[in-house]
Structure 1
């Protein structure tokens, strides 16, 4: 039980929460990977602790009641292979907190950032039942209002390997030779999927356009990332291309 006070209850709870991650933890490298100079690192400005409370049951009626009182029904999956969750824990988080983080970071950036999650008997309580590190796995928003309907987290112990859709950040448009000639940027991919060690998940990947001319393209294999990241998609899959046809078409129409 989440809120059980007896020592034996707490002991059983901790075992239940960490058992399915044991195989991953046994394979820890001798030297944990760290963020490298020159590559994006998480902004400490958004290093916020997400508060959560235990939730005993699930279902549409329960979820509706949680949302009515300002909470978001959520799940924490135990990390197994970076994609498929193991044992799941039912929790609820604060709607206002999740909404603020998503608005500040953007949806893709929220889903590629690690957070500390504290489970408490009550959201206003100072007692912490358990503190874990998690990665948001999915975020369900209302189609009409963008209200947060539910969030799924996956447990991210140190050295776990997680599949992450890392957002791309395009830079150098102002100095790109092709764009300065009047061409336009055709963005084909806005995220790229990597298998990442939990300790070095990039908040985003820089895409340098500063030397790209008309007709040139960048593929996934061109992206500069931490050497421990494993690209899941094809390295030849295009990310973006500088296109010049729009300029010529506009000139034809103006004649």
Structure 2
């Protein structure tokens, strides 16, 4: 969901939300409400290799027949919303994007990483035309892929101006498994969550969240509240919800020997 909100209101809202964080974390927020939030050192930031402008053209009308025609022409029928509930006045624009471009981005990033990354979107009257209709930063909210070929069938985008707050399922990347005490003892990683939902200011959407397994022993777990993220992000699930756990070996060496 995308919520339009002023920067001053955002700052007040975040200050209230940060009561659940430490005072030190709250101090990281900028004193000037108009100042943009920035990524912090030591936390993941988007890889500039995938800073790509998605190209689009207007689509005259919705419907199955139009969508089939677009796909045959090498285009993906798509839509841009001002908010998630765009059917109720959310500045909706019907567009088509290039199949090859979306397939390439989803293939390089992975589906869950594609829908948690911001892109610039340019809508022109025709592909290659100088007639620019709209240029906006967007979040791919949903991408529907063909079950057999993984070809993109449709994409839903949300406009993501700097003042926006976005609900995003941020992907988790598990690291440190090679030195985890529990895994070295023969335990195995029980991955409970692959993504965790956060309310993110549009300027600092994390491409992923690192989950450090390097000190995790058998029967220990990591909770959603343990994840290290920018203090301006608000967790939208219980902080006590488990993300992963090192479980004991399914069959001990002793039992195997018997």
Q: TM-score range by the shorter chain?
A: 0.7 to 0.9
Structure 1, unpaired ranges of 5+: 1-19
Deviation at 1:218, TM superposition (A): 0.3
Aligned to 1:84: 85
**8 Å CA contact retained: 1:134, 1:156:** yes
Pairing partner for 1:171 from 169, 175, 193: 175
Tell me the TM-score normalized by structure 2: 0.85
Following superposition, which runs of at least 4 residues in structure 1 exceed 4 angstroms of deviation?
20-26
Deviation at 1:25, TM superposition (A): 6.3
Instruction: Give the whole-Å Cα distance in 1 for the aligned partners of 2:8 and 2:158.
Output: 19
Structure 2, unpaired ranges of 5+: 12-32
Instruction: Give the whole-Å Cα distance in 2 for the aligned partners of 1:28 and 1:252.
Output: 58
Deviation at 1:28, TM superposition (A): 5.4
Instruction: Give the whole-Å Cα distance in 2 for the aligned partners of 1:37 and 1:45.
Output: 19
Pairing partner for 1:113 from 106, 117, 127: 117
Aligned to 1:3: none
Instruction: Give the whole-Å Cα distance in 2 for the aligned partners of 1:141 and 1:220.
Output: 29
Pairing partner for 1:252 from 239, 250, 255: 255
Using the TM superposition, name which of 193-202 and 137-146 deviates more: 137-146
Deviation at 1:156, TM superposition (A): 0.1
Q: After superposition, where does 1:211-222 map in structure 2 within 5 Å? A: 211-222=215-226
Pairing partner for 2:212 from 204, 208, 213: 208
Deviation at 1:111, TM superposition (A): 0.5
Give the secondary-structure state (helix, strand or coil) at the position aligned to 1:87.
coil
Q: After superposition, where does 1:118-129 map in structure 2 within 5 Å? A: 118-129=122-133
Instruction: Give the whole-Å Cα distance in 1 for the aligned partners of 2:193 and 2:254.
Output: 28
RMSD, aligned CA = 1.8
Q: Work out the number of aligned pairs and report it.
A: 232
Tell me the TM-score normalized by structure 1: 0.86
Give the secondary-structure state (helix, strand or coil) at the position aligned to 1:206.
strand
Q: After superposition, where does 1:83-162 map in structure 2 within 5 Å? A: 83-85=84-86, 86-162=90-166
